[in-house]
Structure 1
Amino acid sequence: MIRLPNFPLPEPANSQLAGYQHEIDSLPDYETRVKRAKERFSRLNRIGDPTFDIVKATLSKMCVGAQRCAYCEDSLADEVEHIRPKALYPELAFAWMNYLYACGPCNSPKSSNFAVFASETGVPTDVSRRRGAPILPPVSGTPVLLDPRVEDPMNFMKLDLLGTFLFKVTSEPGTVEYQRAKYTIDLLRLNRREALQTARRSAFGDFHAHLTRYAQERARGHAPEHLQHLAQDIQTRQHATVWREMKRQHLLIPELKRLFEAAPEALNW
Structure 2
Amino acid sequence: MLHLSDPNLPARVSAKLAEYQDEIDEVENYAERVTLGKSRFSSRNTTTNATFRVVRARLSEMCSGAQRCVYCEDSVGDEVEHIKPKDLYPEDVFRWPNYIYACGPCNGGKNNKFAVINQGNLVIVTRPRGAPITPPSLGDPAFINPRTEDPLAFLTIDLLGTFLILPCEGLDPVAESRAKFTIEVLNLNRDLLLDARQNAFGGYRARLLEYRHRRDDGADVNELNALRDDLLATPHPTVWAEMKRQAPFIPTLQDLFEAVPEANEWLD
Correspondences of 1:47-66 after superposition (within 5 Å): 47-66=47-66
Question: Deviation per CA, 1:182-225, whole angstroms, max 9, x where unpaired?
Answer: 0000110011x101000000000110111011011111111111
Contact map agreement 1:173 1:179 (CA 8 A) in 2? no
Distance 1:51 1:237 in 2: 30
In structure 2, list runs of 5 or more residues that go unmatched. none
Report the counterpart of residue 207 of structure 2 in structure 1: 210
Question: Deviation per CA, 1:87-119, whole angstroms, max 9, x where unpaired?
Answer: 11000000000000000100111101100012x
Correspondences of 1:246-261 after superposition (within 5 Å): 246-261=243-258
- For residue 9 of structure 1, report the CA deviation from its aligned partner: 1.5
Report the counterpart of residue 113 of structure 2 in structure 1: 113
Secondary structure of 1:48's aligned partner: coil
- For residue 262 of structure 1, report the CA deviation from its aligned partner: 1.7
2:136 to 134, 138, 162: 138
Secondary structure of 2:11's aligned partner: coil
- For residue 41 of structure 1, report the CA deviation from its aligned partner: 0.2
Report the counterpart of residue 40 of structure 1 in structure 2: 40
- For residue 239 of structure 1, report the CA deviation from its aligned partner: 0.1
Question: Deviation per CA, 1:214-260, whole angstroms, max 9, x where unpaired?
Answer: 01111111111111111111112210000001101111122211211
Secondary structure of 1:249's aligned partner: helix
Secondary structure of 2:175's aligned partner: helix
Distance 1:171 1:124 in 2: 19
Distance 1:4 1:29 in 2: 34
Distance 1:174 1:208 in 2: 33
TM-score normalised to structure 1 length = 0.96
**2:235 maps to 1:244:** no
Report the counterpart of residue 14 of structure 1 in structure 2: 14
Distance 1:90 1:252 in 2: 46
Correspondences of 1:1-269 after superposition (within 5 Å): 1-118=1-118, 121-172=119-170, 175-191=173-189, 193-269=190-266
TM-score normalised to structure 2 length = 0.96
Change (3 A) 1:18 1:251: same
Secondary structure of 1:101's aligned partner: strand
Aligned pair count? 266
Contact map agreement 1:212 1:259 (CA 8 A) in 2? yes
Distance 1:12 1:157 in 2: 37
Change (3 A) 1:127 1:233: same
In structure 1, list runs of 5 or more residues that go unmatched. none
Aligned-pair RMSD on alpha carbons?
Answer: 1.2
What percent of counterpart residues are identical? 50
Q: Which stretch shifts more, 126-135 or 170-179?
A: 170-179
Runs of 4+ in 1 over 6 A off after TM superposition: none
Distance 2:175 2:228 in 1: 34
Secondary structure of 1:217's aligned partner: helix
Distance 1:259 1:73 in 2: 25
Matched residue type, 1:217:
R
Distance 2:137 2:120 in 1: 11
